[in-house]
Amino acid sequence: MDSEVVTSPFLDQLPLGLVVNNTWQRHYVLRELTSGDVGKIHDADLVRKAPVEWMGRIVALSLESLAEEPVYEPYRKSEYTKLPDILFSLPMSDASYLMVASHVFSYGPTIEAMRFTCPACRQSSVRKVDLTMLTVDRATEPVSKLDIEVPKGFTYRGEYEGARGRVYKRFVFKVPTLQEFIKYQERFSKAVQAGDVNSYILLASLVDVYDEQGQTMSPEVRSMLGVRIDQAQHHTLRGEAVA
């Protein structure tokens, strides 16, 4: 995947974008949040029960349009109960990006990130983050999968002789969308609470693993390692734990 790194991070182009009617679309138009919008965002019950749907709510409130299709207006007409269909195809990374872009557009580039107390002088202060200092890596072509090769990988030393000694360094992930995460948001919420959300996302998004010779990881090795890729995708989409 070729990409361009943009140092002015919040333009009108999504980092990954989505395909609409066989056309790759990245353009979006933000709207300024109102006090009424903020009231809808600060919904502790929704955050607890449906965290990804809450994320979709923020994006719907923040966008005038996405890929030339209206977003806020149809959401308002549904009395804020139905997310516009186009949002369900939005990559999760783009949804996260839009949440930050919305903050910059409505409240400025600074966000108060953490309050802490100095153990020596006991003075309390707030750390602030300048969001304009972020860099955004934008794709230059449509992306449906992420193909990643890690420097060291891992060597299989288990019982299955057909794979013993093989080094697995290449991992292929699908790009998860807002729709997929809404389907298994109950499990996602538990992962957030447990602090292992990154591992959960990786497992749910994993398509395949390859060794140095380009051979895919066998079902036997997947089972022994607990990397049950196909089963993980199937069960997590149903909101079930994977044994």
Whether residue 41 is found in the same domain as residue 99? yes
Comparing CA positions, the residue from 151, 153, 111, 156 lying closest to residue 132 is 111
Whether residue 165 is found in the same domain as residue 224? yes
Domain boundary among 79, 107, 135: 107
* Dist CA 132 CA 8 (whole Å): 6
Q: What is the pLDDT of residue 222?
A: 66
Split at pLDDT 50, 70, 90, the class of 115 is confident
Q: What is the pTM of this model?
A: 0.73
* Count of domains forming the chain: 2
Tokens linked to 165: 């000694």
Q: What is the pLDDT of residue 8?
A: 61
Whether residue 97 is found in the same domain as residue 150? no
Length of the chain: 243
- Please indicate, yes or no, if residue 134 is contained in any of the structural domains: no
Split at pLDDT 50, 70, 90, the class of 109 is confident
